[in-house]
Structure 1
Amino acid sequence: MKDIKDRSRRLRFYRKIHGVLGGTLFFFFLIIAVTGLLLGWKKHSGGVLLAKSYKGVSADPKTWLPVDSLQKIAFNTLRDSVSAELSTELDRIDIRPQKGMVKFVFADHYAGIQLDCTTGQVLHIETRRSDFIEKLHDGSYLDALIKLDEQPFKLLYTSIMGIALILFSVTGFYLYYGPKRIRQEKLTRSAKLV
């Protein structure tokens, strides 16, 4: 009988941990779930979350303009067609050789410019919604907002949420399996008494 009482006490303890974690971190789990779902569907969103990658005139790099010329075109396009107030600091230059296209992705905002590598023609001006969603998903949004290079908030956020998810899984399994085991033990003991 003592064994059943110990298991019941452990079950109540796990239920308390599960409840406290769930209540405390509910909002963050909801953000991770919704943003994860959106990120999973971004390529199938019809250009709403992730812009289509357009195709340039030629996939032959010998015909392409130099990267610095393409960069000047991207910066001018950003100033003239999006906003003169936005920073031109680049996060990355994403060259798609098979498409003959280059994307300029900016560090301080979510605008993106796609250019034809051969002609320098603007193929698309995009709002990179998926980048924003990704920053919400992994917690780096606050680091970007406060301009923290080492990303301490992202590290803390992902550590807390990862450990919480592990604890949720363990306590959830025990909450599922524990009562079944206690019931089985009670049935076994009552059968022995008869």
Structure 2
Amino acid sequence: MNDNKASVRRLRLYRKVHSILGGSLFIFFILISVTGLLLGWKKHSGGYLLAKSYQGVSTDSKSWLPIDSLKQIAFQTLRDSVSGDLSTSLDRIDIRPKKGMVKFVFADHYWGIQLDCKTGQVLHIERRRSDFVEHLHDGSYWDSLLQLGDEPAKLLYTTITAVALLLFSITGFYLYYGPKRIRQQKQGKQTVNSNFMK
């Protein structure tokens, strides 16, 4: 009987933890699931989330313009075609040797410029929506928005959501398994009692 009472108490505790986690972190779970789904589909979004990588005229790197020249073209394109007020601080330069193309990805906003490595021609000006979705998904968006160094918001966000999801899974499993176990214990005791009465 004591085992049964202890199991019921544990079940109530797990149900309480489960409902508190579910209620308090509902927004985070929705955000993670929606952004995760979008990231999974980004290559199949018809260029809306992730822009197509365009082809340059030559894959022979000896014929390419120097990176400095390409960088100046990308900066000028950003100023002329998007906005003169945007920062030209770079997050990365992504060279695609097999395509003869280079992407300039900016650090302080979600724009990117694709250039032909040989001619410097602008192949595409892209709105990097997948980067925005990724930053929402991992929590780093809040660090950039609040200009926090060392990504404390991302670390806090990922720790809270990961631990909560782990606890949610454990308590969810026990909420599924616990009642079955209690029923089995009751049936086992009834069998013992009926055998004893005989």
TM range (shorter): over 0.9
Hey, what's the Cα distance between the residues in 1 that align with 2:98 and 2:112? 19
Provide TM-score, normalisation by structure 1.
0.99
SS at match of 1:181: helix
Hey, what's the Cα distance between the residues in 2 that align with 1:146 and 1:67? 32
Instruction: Note the residue ranges of structure 1 that are not aligned, 5 or more in a row.
Output: none
Hey, what's the Cα distance between the residues in 1 that align with 2:165 and 2:126? 35
SS at match of 2:51: coil
Hey, what's the Cα distance between the residues in 2 that align with 1:31 and 1:100? 37
Residue 61 of structure 1: aligned partner: 61
Give the partner amino acid of 2:121: Q
Residue 91 of structure 2: aligned partner: 91
Hey, what's the Cα distance between the residues in 2 that align with 1:34 and 1:2? 44
Residue 33 of structure 1: aligned partner: 33
- 1:75 matched to 2:75? The reply is yes
Residue 17 of structure 2: aligned partner: 17
Residue 138 of structure 1: aligned partner: 138
Query: Which contiguous aligned blocks of 4+ residues in structure 1 show a shift greater than 2 angstroms?
Result: none
SS at match of 1:113: strand
RMSD, aligned α-carbons: 0.6
Instruction: Note the residue ranges of structure 2 that are not aligned, 5 or more in a row.
Output: none
Q: Please give the per-residue CA displacement for 1:55-86, whole angstroms capped at 9, x wherever unaligned.
A: 10011100100000000000000000011111
SS at match of 2:156: helix
Give the partner amino acid of 2:141: Y
Provide TM-score, normalisation by structure 2.
0.97
Instruction: Count the aligned residue pairs.
Output: 194
SS at match of 2:80: helix
SS at match of 1:58: coil
> Offset of 1:173 from its aligned partner?
0.7
Hey, what's the Cα distance between the residues in 2 that align with 1:9 and 1:111? 55
Q: Please give the per-residue CA displacement for 1:114-166, whole angstroms capped at 9, x wherever unaligned.
A: 00000000000000000000110001111001112210000000001111011
- 1:110 matched to 2:110? The reply is yes
> Offset of 1:191 from its aligned partner?
1.6
Hey, what's the Cα distance between the residues in 2 that align with 1:148 and 1:52? 32
> Offset of 1:189 from its aligned partner?
1.0
